[in-house]
Amino acid sequence: MKKVLTVCPYCGSGCQLYLCVEDNRVVGAEPANGPINEGELCLKGHYGWDFLNDTKILSKRLTKPMLRYTRSEPLREVEWDEALDYVAGKLKTIKEQYGPDAIMGTGSARGTGNETNYVMQRFMRAVIGTNNVDHCARVCHGPSVAGLTAIFGSGAMSNSIPEIEDADCLLIFGYNAADAHPLVAKRILRAKQKGAKIIVVDPRKTEAARISDLWLQLKNGSNMALVNSFANIILAKGWHNDYFINNFTEGFAEYCNTVKKYTPEYAQAITGIEPDLVEAAMKIYTHSKNSFILWGMGVTQFGQAVDVVKGLGSLCLLTGQIGKPSSGVGPVRGQNNVQGACDMGALPNIYPGYQAVTDAANRKKFAKAWGVETLPDKIGFTITEVPHAVAAGKLKAFYIIGEDPVQSDPDSGGLKKALNDLEFVIVQDIFMNKTALYADVILPATSWGEHGGVFSGADRRFQRFRKAVDAKGDVKDDWVIIGELAKRFGYELTYKNTEAIWNEMISLCPSYAGATYEKMERQGSVQWPCRTLEDPGTDYLFKGNIFQTTSKKGIFFATEWRAPAEVPDEQYPIVLCTVREVGHYSSRTMTGNCWGLSQLADEPGYVQISVEDAARLDIEDEQLMRVTSRRGSVISRARVSDRVKAGAVYMTYQWWIGACNELTIDNLDPISKTPEYKYCAVKLEAI
């Protein structure tokens, strides 16, 4: 048996593990002593590997290209040349007829690595000629990137995951670490054991809320009002840091003007939180030596998400709780490489290394490196804009790599219609998924475990992941497929190996310039910024309180609270909020094909409902019930719980039956275009 050191393919924590291999089959996983996990793994790390052996529990691995020339035909297996010739021919025709901006592509935040994301965005920009490239950060931490970039000049976690346990205060806002990032949850527990005060803001009694010193069970959809009231009480009590504000920030006067109305008493009508609790929470936050704010989808999946992120960052500026160890902002990324897909520029507004496409000097630099005369200057579409762009006749083709938007994006009925209306849909993946049912061509790729490269963990941490087994079937690495397509456009996009891709990428990105494969091998990981070969990388940002904005100062921000787009009414009286489940990952194509994990949770999801609502509607625990919104209706099973308040229900999004995204609304944050998964109106019926 051989053991191959690699990085877990699931959440963004970035735990290191060994894959145990016998006769080209994975037979187990063992924890490695990585900087995040230090010899431990969660359930998914321990039991999430045997999909590589094609267990066929949920679906079959894709092992051959598939194609249909008309939508009335079934997809049939073909040779690679036929599939790639057809894809290249169709994309050329669409580009010629409608222009390059009629084509949209995705990177992938899932198993595929940074190198594929780099090659994919180069293909879209240099070969197709559009900035229409995006990925699923759009539906999770897009607002964190936009919000933090606006106030600090950098959209990443300011500090490292290991620093969490040395904070004196953790303010955990809309973040269920126990289900989303179990090894981060362990750091929270260790912080508690070391004496940290834990403040949790969440409408549900999460595991973190259970161990907290203060739990603020706010009303769903009231985040901005609560954050403003935090600022208000800090100022009213004189707990702000005048030295920090005067020397390292801008926009303080305007900020004070906005938050002055949000006294805890005024905000209570919106948030439901007692003024005493607001004061107690901010007394702990401001009086602790090192306070660290962690957040998750409970902040970012709202129509006012970017504003709230800026508001949370402004609390750091108000108090000086940033620019030092264990103190700052922690938007903990969900999928294992969602940080990496952003780092590599699989976004419609930036090149790799967060270099704006709207900057002429950046365009010139990348055009020269990529051997083209010009690059497009117009910011591209986001994935959440696809249904609208298709309806407006602006998009005609969609090339989807390693994502399953029919399962994961809001209002799946609207997205299915868009896929049907597109002229051409390409899906490149490892399993047949719900989106692939709408494809004209399916390109089968190698999986995590079958190729290597670099992932970026949630705390800006580059780590090498490695090939453990040879792929079975007629499949290719994602970046090889893209290179073969480019060749059909007469463009050279082939590389000897992933290290060659990586070296090209770091030569174009000053913040990653010193992060070589060799350094990752030697150190185990490298956190960017890492600008030179001598630089070991950066554990926490903004040392010396120097921010990365143009003025080098932190920029305060506050704004008025606004209500979610679809509030409950007589017909749809309950709030629906989507959540995650610890035993499964994303749209479940990988974890649903693992024996251990499918044994743990093998039934279509559930609706978590309060004791009060269940009694009122005569619904018993485990009973089937119908959930209906203005967009769809699904059947799921009730889980009656005293951890949630009356008036809201919670559904996991991983399940194909009872899929909550048939119900969700595609109201988008106006800046990040992230959907409001956490709030829409539904009605419930016992069946």
Minimum Å distance from CB 45 to ligand SF4? 3
Which pairs count as long-range contacts for 489-493, CB under 8 Å and 24+ apart, including other chains? Answer: 489/88, 489/92, 489/127, 491/126, 491/127, 492/371, 493/119, 493/122, 493/123, 493/126, 493/127
For ligand SF4, the binding residues in 14-33 under the rule CB under 6 A are 14-15
Check binding of 13 to ligand SF4 (CB under 6 A): yes
Stretch of residues binding ligand SF4 (CB under 6 A), selected from 4-12, 242-250, 477-485, 550-558 = 4-12
**What CA–CA distance (Å, rounded) separates 109 from 385?**
18
Backbone angles phi, psi at 441, to 5 degrees: -135, 135
* Residue among 105, 107, 182, 449 that touches ligand SF4 (CB under 6 A): 182
Shortest distance in whole angstroms from residue 582 CB to ligand SF4: 9
CB closest to ligand SF4, residue no:
45
Cα–Cα distances (Å) from 49 to 311, 468, 596, 673, in that order, read 40, 11, 9, 34
Q: What angle do CA 574, 577, 415 make, to 5 degrees?
A: 105
- Identify which of residues 511 and 586 has a Cβ nearer to ligand SF4 in the complex: 586
Q: Please give the residues from 398 up to 457 whose contact with ligand SF4 meets the rule CB under 6 A.
A: none
Q: Which residues contact 210 (CB under 8 A, 6 or more apart)?
A: none
User: Cα dihedral sign for 669, 675, 678, 683?
Assistant: positive
Q: Does 597 bind ligand SF4 (CB under 6 A)?
A: no
Question: Which of 185/442 has CB closer to ligand SF4?
Answer: 185
Residues 401, 383 contacting (CB under 8 angstroms): no
Stretch of residues binding ligand SF4 (CB under 6 A), selected from 8-16, 100-108, 166-174, 229-237: 8-16
Number of residues binding to ligand SF4, judged by CB under 6 A = 14
Q: How far is the CB of 140 from ligand SF4 (least distance, A)?
A: 15
**Residue 364, C-beta contacts closer than 8 angstroms, at least 6 positions apart:** none
At closest approach, how far in Å is the CB of 430 from ligand SF4? Answer: 18
Q: Does 148 bind ligand SF4 (CB under 6 A)?
A: no
Residue closer to ligand SF4 (CB basis): 16 or 288: 16
Please, are residues 253 and 305 in contact by the beta-carbon 8 Å criterion? no
Structure tokens at 195: 């004496």
181 in contact with ligand SF4 (CB under 6 A): yes
Instruction: Output 594 or 609, the one with its CB closest to ligand SF4.
Output: 594
Nearer to ligand SF4, 35 or 320 (CB): 35
CB under 8 Å to 507, separation ≥6 — which residues? Answer: 369, 513
Does 480 help bind ligand SF4 (rule: CB under 6 A)?
no
From the list 11-19, 323-331, 412-420, 425-433, the region that binds ligand SF4 by CB under 6 A is 11-19
By CB under 6 A, residue 11 contacts ligand SF4: yes
Q: Is 140 in the site for ligand SF4 (CB under 6 A)?
A: no
The least distance separating ligand SF4 from the CB of residue 211, rounded to whole angstroms, comes to 18
Give the C-alpha separation, 354 to 149, whole Å.
10
- The answer to whether 532 and 515 have CB atoms below 8 angstroms apart is no
> Between residues 8 and 167, which has the closer beta carbon with respect to ligand SF4?
8
Q: Which is nearer to ligand SF4, 44 or 451 (CB)?
A: 44
* Residue whose pair of structure tokens reads 């999986």 in the numeric block: 447
Residue 655 CB, shortest distance to ligand SF4, in Å, is 19
Conformational region of residue 647, where left means phi above 0, alpha means psi within -120 to 50, and beta covers everything else: left
Q: How far apart are CA 507 and CA 352, in angstroms?
A: 11
Give the Cα separation of 17 and 207 in Å (integer): 25
Choose the binding region for ligand SF4 from 39-47, 347-355, 611-619, 666-674 (rule: CB under 6 A): 39-47
Tell me: does residue 174 bind ligand SF4 (CB under 6 A): no
Binding flag, residue 45, ligand SF4 (CB under 6 A): yes
Q: Which stretch binds ligand SF4 (CB under 6 A): 36-44, 190-198, 476-484, 596-604?
A: 36-44
Report residue 358 as tokens. 């709207």
Query: Which distant-in-sequence residues (6+ apart) come within 8 Å of 340 by Cβ?
Result: 109, 113, 114, 117, 454, 455, 456
**Position 588 contacts ligand SF4 (CB under 6 A):** no
Return the amino acid letter for 121.
Answer: Q
Cβ 13 to ligand SF4 shortest distance, Å: 4
**10 touching ligand SF4, by CB under 6 A:** yes
Q: Which of 19, 26, 32, 42 binds ligand SF4 (CB under 6 A)?
A: 42
34 binds ligand SF4 (CB under 6 A): no
* Part in contact with ligand SF4 (CB under 6 A); list of ranges 7-15, 55-63, 158-166, 360-368: 7-15
Identify the residue among 21, 183, 209, 422 touching ligand SF4 (CB under 6 A): 183
- CB 408, min distance to ligand SF4, A: 17
For residues 113 and 358, the answer to whether their CB atoms sit within 8 Å is no
Q: How would you classify the pairing of strands 424-429 and 133-134?
A: unpaired
Which of 191, 233 has the CB closer to ligand SF4? 191
Q: Is 246 helix (H, G, I), strand (E, B) or coil?
A: helix
Shortest reach from residue 682's CB to ligand SF4, in Å: 30
Task: Note whether 41 binds ligand SF4 by CB under 6 A.
Answer: yes
Instruction: Locate the DSSP E strands across 242-321.
Output: 249-250, 291-295
The H-assigned helical ranges of 108-210 are: 114-122, 142-152, 177-180, 182-193, 207-210
Residues forming contacts to ligand SF4 in the complex (CB under 6 A) are 8, 10-11, 13-15, 37, 41-42, 44-45, 181-183
